[in-house]
Structure 1
Amino acid sequence: GSNISITIENFKYYCSCYRQYRLNEFNRQINYIQQGLYSIIPYYYLNLFTAKELEEAVCGKDQIDIELLKRNTLYGGDYNKNSPPIERFWIVPM
């Protein structure tokens, strides 16, 4: 289609073809990803999740609970929660 001029007569057809192209341009890649995912987790299990739940399971939460991390962090050696390097460490993510 790059050699065909767009005219008033073919504009709707061009738009329809372009829309179809854009909607389907990544189908092959998506199918490969889907096949790989289904080889690890069967479709019927994935179907139990919403899109948001699946995203969270794969990517993790978008916000990290720093206080939860601080309460559950174990320090080794001469370090504890009041050690100056540790106090400075916890300033960064906040």
Structure 2
Amino acid sequence: MSAPNKRKARRANAGQSHKQNNRRTFNTTAARGIEPAYLQRVAQRLHACGPRVAFEFIADLARGRDFAETLADFARIDPAIYAAVAAIIIDGGRA
């Protein structure tokens, strides 16, 4: 097989591998009793809160906290309230 053909084959296989990894991730979370749709909603909320909240979520997991428990706790964070509280703290406590 020539070099350009090998590259094409690798690219084709890489796409399949990515799809398989995504399926495996969703199957794993579903097996833990976490629906993929719920996981996506929580991810959107964390993203809306910004990088600090996402960091704290990952840090909790890195410290060994249970995934489902951590997910449930962070799902309760309202992005609008978080932004308001963060603005008060950044302004030096002035309301």
Fold match (TM-score > 0.5): no
Higher relative contact order (CA 8 A, sep 6+): 2
Normalising by structure 1, what TM-score? 0.35
Q: Between Structure 1 and Structure 2, whose CA radius of gyration is higher?
A: 1
The structure with the largest helix share of the pair is 2
Normalising by structure 2, what TM-score? 0.35
